[in-house]
């Protein structure tokens, strides 16, 4: 399966090499093609993608569960209100406005990478705050 996905990814890359403008690292471009090929493969085969359990437990599941309960959502909004800029606005635009990182970066006159890093740093601050609240309750 891995060989098949790798072969398909490099085939796609070779077909689209004339579209690569060289403004970014070719490794990142190839990685994106490989990642999208991987996701497409699983969609075609109706399989669920196995996520790294530590990553889900540490960030995604806990974060989503806080947003889903009313008290947790209020605590996140309360903390978000006290956060420094640009973290507060970038997080809000991404999480609530569902804007892509490219547009968020453009709003600030920065790159999509800057928006992505800022969002993940804001999310990390929120997760740490929520863990501290949960630790106090225990």
Judged against a pLDDT cut of 60, whether residue 52 lies above it is answered with: no
The pLDDT-based confidence of 138 (bands split at 50, 70, 90) is low
The H-assigned helical ranges of the chain are 2-15, 26-44, 53-55, 61-68, 70-82, 87-95, 101-108, 112-137
Q: Give the pLDDT mean for 108-136.
A: 87
31, 10 in Cβ contact below 8 A?
A: no
Same domain flag for 34 and 69: no
Same domain flag for 40 and 59: no
Hey, what are 108's tokens? Answer: 């600030």
Same domain flag for 36 and 74: no
Q: Give the pLDDT mean for 110-117.
A: 92
Q: Report how many domains make up the chain.
A: 2
Domain that holds residue 120: 53-137
Q: Who has greater pLDDT, 15 or 136?
A: 15
Question: What is the pLDDT at residue 116?
Answer: 92
Same domain flag for 87 and 28: no
Same domain flag for 9 and 65: no
Question: What is the pLDDT at residue 53?
Answer: 40
Judged against a pLDDT cut of 70, whether residue 58 lies above it is answered with: no
């Amino acid at each position: 399966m891995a060989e098949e996905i790798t072969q398909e990814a490099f085939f796609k890359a070779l077909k689209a090499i004339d579209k690569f403008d060289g403004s970014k690292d070719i490794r990142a471009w190839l990685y994106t093609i490989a990642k999208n090929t991987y996701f497409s493969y699983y969609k075609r085969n109706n399989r669920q993608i196995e996520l790294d359990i530590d990553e889900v437990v540490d960030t995604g599941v806990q974060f989503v569960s806080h947003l889903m309960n009313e008290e947790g959502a209020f605590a996140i909004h309360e903390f978000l209100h006290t956060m420094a800029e640009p973290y507060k606005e970038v997080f809000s635009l991404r999480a609530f406005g569902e804007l892509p990182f490219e547009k968020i970066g453009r709003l600030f006159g920065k790159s999509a990478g800057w928006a992505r890093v800022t969002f993940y740093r804001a999310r990390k601050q929120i997760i740490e705050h929520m863990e501290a609240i949960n630790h106090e309750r225990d």
